[in-house]
């Protein structure tokens, strides 16, 4: 399967600069184009001029998730297990965390971080 132009540009930018921060020049205003050759390489892909930025110094916000196991205990004083179960199910029992253990973690997403004004 052939790649579309954006995938070709992404791959090229990633290989040479370690990021995928680029822009198609025809989408920029004249004002935005001023000085762009100082911060980006201008290359042509399939007849389309593209600015490949030299450095991608934008901060990113990363989201991580971790599977965690938590063990809680509830101690109930009662005359029988049946009575203890009734107390437990009534919601009058107090649970206490006795141990927890983190497991595998994974970065599930990232996006460009933009500070709120």
Domain-wise residue ranges, the chain? 5-53, 60-112
* Residue 4 structure tokens: 């579309």
pTM beyond 0.85, yes or no: no
Per-residue pLDDT of the chain (117 residues; tens, 9 = 90+): 678 899 999 998 888 888 888 999 999 999 999 999 888 999 999 999 999 988 766 666 778 888 888 899 999 899 989 999 998 999 888 899 988 888 787 777 666 666 676
CA atoms within 13 A on the CB side of 86: 6
Nearest by Cα to 65 from 106, 110, 109, 111: 106
Burial of 87 (0-12, 13-18, 19+ CB in 10 A): middle
């Amino acid at each position: 399967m052939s790649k579309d132009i954006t995938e070709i540009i992404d791959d090229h930018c990633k290989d040479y600069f370690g990021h995928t921060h680029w822009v198609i020049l025809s989408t920029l205003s004249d004002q935005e184009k001023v000085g762009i050759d100082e911060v980006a390489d201008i290359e042509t892909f399939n007849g389309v001029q593209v600015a490949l930025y030299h450095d991608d110094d934008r901060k990113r916000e990363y989201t991580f998730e971790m599977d965690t196991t938590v063990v809680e205990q509830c101690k109930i004083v009662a005359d029988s297990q049946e009575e203890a179960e009734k107390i437990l199910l009534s919601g009058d029992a107090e649970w206490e965390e006795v141990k927890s253990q983190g497991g595998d973690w994974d970065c599930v997403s990232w996006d460009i971080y933009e500070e709120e004004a």
